[in-house]
């Protein structure tokens, strides 16, 4: 009993000292020097795609991160990309693709690009999986002007599976597909795979 009481007191003291000593205090931001990148709370699922576009074009990985669920996010590339990159790079670059991998690759793309332009075009009606889950079908065009190597346009189709958590919407599954009208054009998923 005495040991437990001592441990409880020690734990309580440690908790208060940790929280009070500034260990968890964030820094103060400097006054804004630019317009910033818009962020809209995703109370409606369609807002997610506006935020992804803004985060990509503004190269703000933290805003990009907030479009996805914290745990359980998966990305499925087009099967052709999966097999292509496995043979090209001798590694299964898409294996275990979770949110960490998504953010790592997004950051790498942001670093290597001097500018990005992203457009989404709805290609099919939304599927209501349930009141809290939906599937959105888009065509996309991602224009990347690389710092080294010129510009390239990536085209394809994307199925976004979204889920509502605590009143806000997040992407939990991303299926990337080739656009049959541009079968020789690289997809966004292919770009992501080569940057992992």
Partner 1 sequence: MDTRFRRPPLMPCLPRPRHRIMFHALTTLAALRKATLPRALACALALFCVSAWTAESRAVSSGAGSDTLSAAERALAFTAAAVSDTTALADSLKAAQDTLKTAKSPAQRMVDSLKALARAEDEAGKVWMGPVRYSTNYTLNRTTSTWNQSLGFEFSARGVSVSTSTSGNIYADTETKSDRRNATAQMAIDFAPTERLSVGLDINTTRHTDKFLGKRYDTDDVGARASYAWEQSKIFTARITATAGSVDETKPTYTAKGTTSALTLDSKYVFPIPCTLRVNASGQLGSKRSNDLATALRTNDQDVNESVRADLGFNPHKSTSVRLGFSRNNRQLQYPLFGSQETWDSKGTLVDASFGVNIKDGLSLSTDARYSDNKVDYAAEKTKSSSYLSKSATTQLSGLTLMGTSITSRFDMENATNVTGAGRNGDVNTRTLSGKVERRLTPLISADAIGNISLAQYFFYDATSIPDERDVYKDGISLGLKLGRTGSRYSGSATVKRDIQKMIYVRPKNSGNSRTNELYSASASFFYKVKSVTFSQMAATTTDYTLFLFTESQNILSRTTSISSTIQVPWGKSSTFRLAHAYRVQDNGPYTTPAGGDSKVYQRSGGSVTEELYLTAAYQFGSDTNFSFGQRFQQSRTFRFLGGRKKWNVGGKVLEFLSDFRLKYALDARSTANFTLSRTNSAFGRSYWNAAASVSREFF
Site for partner 1 in 46-85 (CB under 8 A): 60-63, 66, 74, 76-80, 82-84
Question: What ranges in 21-77 are assigned the alpha helix state H?
Answer: 46-58, 61-65
CA 8 from chain center: how many Å? 41
The answer to the question of residue 91 lying near partner 1 (CB under 8 A) is yes
What span, in angstroms and rounded, lies between the C-alpha atoms of 95 and 193? 10
Q: Hey, is 78 helix, strand or coil?
A: coil
Binds partner 1 by CB under 8 A, chosen from 48, 85, 157, 162: 157
Verify binding: residue 119, partner 1, rule CB under 8 A. no
Residue of the chain from 21, 121, 150, 167 that contacts partner 1 (CB under 8 A): 167
Task: Quote the longest CA-to-CA distance of the chain.
Answer: 74
CB atoms within 10 A of CB 159: 17
| Distance, CA of 96 to CA of 101 (rounded, Å) | 8
Among residues 101, 108, 138, 152, the one that binds partner 1 under rule CB under 8 A: 108
The one among 3, 21, 121, 150 contacting partner 1 by CB under 8 A: 3
Q: How far is the CB of 196 from partner 1 (least distance, A)?
A: 9
**Interaction residues for partner 1, span 121-150 (CB under 8 A):** 124-133, 135, 148
Would you count residue 21 as binding partner 1 (CB under 8 A)? no
Query: What is the total count of residues that contact partner 1 (CB under 8 A)?
Result: 83
151 binds partner 1 (CB under 8 A): no
Task: By CB under 8 A, tell whether 189 contacts partner 1.
Answer: no
- Look at residues 174, 196, 181 and name the one whose alpha carbon lies nearest to residue 78: 174
Burial code of 117-156, b = ≥16 C-beta within 10 A, e = fewer? ebebeeeeeeeeeeeebbbbbbbbbbbbeeeeeeeeebbb
CB nearer to partner 1: pick between 128 and 153: 128
Cβ-based nearer residue to partner 1, 29 or 150: 29
Q: Is 8 in the site for partner 1 (CB under 8 A)?
A: yes
């Amino acid at each position: 009993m005495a040991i437990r009481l001592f441990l409880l007191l020690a734990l309580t003291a440690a908790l208060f000292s940790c929280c009070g000593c500034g260990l968890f205090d964030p820094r103060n931001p400097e006054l804004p020097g630019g317009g910033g990148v818009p962020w809209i709370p995703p109370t409606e699922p369609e807002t997610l795609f506006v935020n992804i576009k803004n985060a990509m074009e503004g190269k703000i990985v933290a805003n990009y991160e907030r479009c996805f669920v914290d745990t359980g996010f998966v990305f499925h590339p087009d099967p052709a990309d999966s097999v292509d990159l496995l043979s090209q790079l001798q590694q299964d670059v898409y294996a275990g693709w979770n949110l960490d991998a998504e953010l790592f690759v997004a950051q790498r793309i942001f670093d290597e690009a001097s500018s990005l332009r992203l457009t989404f075009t709805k290609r099919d009606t939304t599927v209501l999986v349930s009141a809290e889950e939906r599937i959105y079908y888009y065509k996309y065009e991602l224009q990347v002007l690389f710092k080294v190597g010129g510009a390239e346009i990536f085209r394809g189709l994307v199925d976004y599976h979204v889920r509502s958590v605590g009143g806000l919407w997040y992407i939990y599954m991303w299926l990337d597909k080739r656009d049959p009208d541009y079968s020789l054009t690289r997809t966004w998923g292919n770009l992501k795979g080569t940057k992992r």
